Amino acid sequence: MTGLRVTSLTTSYGRGGRVLDDLGLTVPEGELAAVLGPSGCGKTTLLRVIAGFVRPDAGEISIGGRTVCGPGVQLPPERRGIGIMAQEGALFPHLSVVRNVAFGLRPLDRGERRARADEMLELVGLGGYGDRMPHELSGGQQQRVALARALAPRPALVLLDEPFNALDSGLRSGLRSDVRSALRAAGATALLVTHDQEEALSAADRVAVIRAGRVVQSGTPQELYERPADPWVASFVGAAVLLPAVAGPGAAHATTALGRIPLARRADSGGGADGTVVLRPEQLRLTDPSDAAASASGQVTEVRYHGHDALVLVGLPGLDQPVTVRTAGPLAVRPGDTTGLLVTGGAGFHRDSTDRTDGTDGTDGTDG
């Protein structure tokens, strides 16, 4: 069964332009999907419309197979069966942890409420914390309580609104995987809103990338990273090397400043030959400039050392911007050095003239 289905959702505020524009999204039951997009693209508005705080101009929303919003239907927030985990827990400061978690369990009797709240606190790793007050917890613990509170009434859908924003980066990744495990254990369908691509890729089963109120691509994290729909998605979802390129219809290679590069899929047959090649920085390798296999050579302009790896920026003749190479292991180059470059694997190719918003990368799927 479908956990969440959003169809042709259009929303504007007052006389402003469209904030959500014919947006469609599906989350299978029991999955965690992320909505990823830059600031102002409409992520929070989407959550508010799904939760029932904002009425859309048009479109339909169903949760667990039940229409909560559509022609002639606009259920109030409290009747949608939604649990919300906000940016900063928003716990009731005057209630103990267990009473916060039990808050939405009013229809149950006292003993059942306590038992369910304790179960949820165990689930988020806070068994034994029930009698503390919120101010006696760390920020990460408060977020766990907020998740326990959202899950306690067994909602049909959990909305997570940038829930790790207020935490420092060390805490974020640990809490992220704990939240994911807790959602899984509870069998919850969940929608996570974030502008952080690492968070979306690492936490979600599926990711929908939103730009200007529309879903420009949705897929598994791997599909988005390996087959971005266009150069914009490629740069937004991870680091990308974008190169002006020429590839004729059906070509298996593209010609670029990095030489002749094999394409992961043959170029499509429409439009002109000009386009953009997309590579990931880990597809480029540094090599000796005299290496006969090198497809180009250039000068190192900058080295950004991260410990576990380094990004090496290399300027190439004919390119305004340096290309970025991700290297692991000992670093053998310094700014000013001349280096050769090798390309590994296949590149994506996107023709200049086509405007793709259909979630595909426009290729025909054949291997090149």
Ligand X SMILES: Nc1ncnc2c1ncn2[C@@H]1O[C@H](COP(=O)(O)OP(=O)(O)OP(=O)(O)O)[C@@H](O)[C@H]1O
Nearer to ligand X, 209 or 251 (CB): 209
- The CA dihedral of 286, 291, 294, 300, to the nearest 10 degrees, is 40
DSSP state of 263: B
Name the minimum Å distance from CB 145 to ligand X.
23
CB of 39 to ligand X, least distance (A): 3
Closest CA to 55 of 38, 40, 71, 39: 71
Q: Please state the closest distance from residue 344 (CB atom) to ligand X, in A.
A: 35
Q: Are 142 and 86 in contact (CB under 8 A)?
A: no
Q: Which amino acid is at 207?
A: V
| Residue 55 burial by Cβ neighbours in a 10 Å radius (0-12, 13-18, 19+) | exposed
Query: Between residues 16 and 317, which has the closer beta carbon with respect to ligand X?
Result: 16
Nearer to ligand X (CB atom), residue 5 or residue 18: 18
Picking from 324, 238, 336, the residue whose alpha carbon sits closest to that of residue 286 is 324
Tell me whether residue 37 or residue 346 sits nearer to ligand X (CB atom): 37
**Taking the complex as a whole, how short is the minimal distance between the CB of residue 53 and ligand X, in angstroms?**
10
Which of these, 46, 12, 3, 2, lies nearest to 210 by C-alpha position? 46
User: What is the distance of C-alpha 116 from the center of its chain?
Assistant: 32
Taking the complex as a whole, the smallest distance from the CB of residue 204 to ligand X amounts, in Å, to: 17
Q: How far is the CB of 155 from ligand X (least distance, A)?
A: 21
- Residues near ligand X (CB under 6 A): 13, 16, 19, 37, 39-45, 195
Q: Contact at 8 Å (CB) between 279 and 243?
A: yes
Cβ distance to ligand X smaller for residue 50 or 63: 50
For ligand X, which is the closer residue by CB, 101 or 208?
A: 208
**Cα angle 181, 185, 186; round to 5:** 120
Compute the distance between CA of residue 333 and CA of residue 273 in angstroms, rounded to an integer: 36
Distance CA 242, CA 321 (A): 10
- Residue 324 CB, shortest distance to ligand X, in Å, is 25
Whichever of 3 and 37 has its CB closer to ligand X, that residue is 37
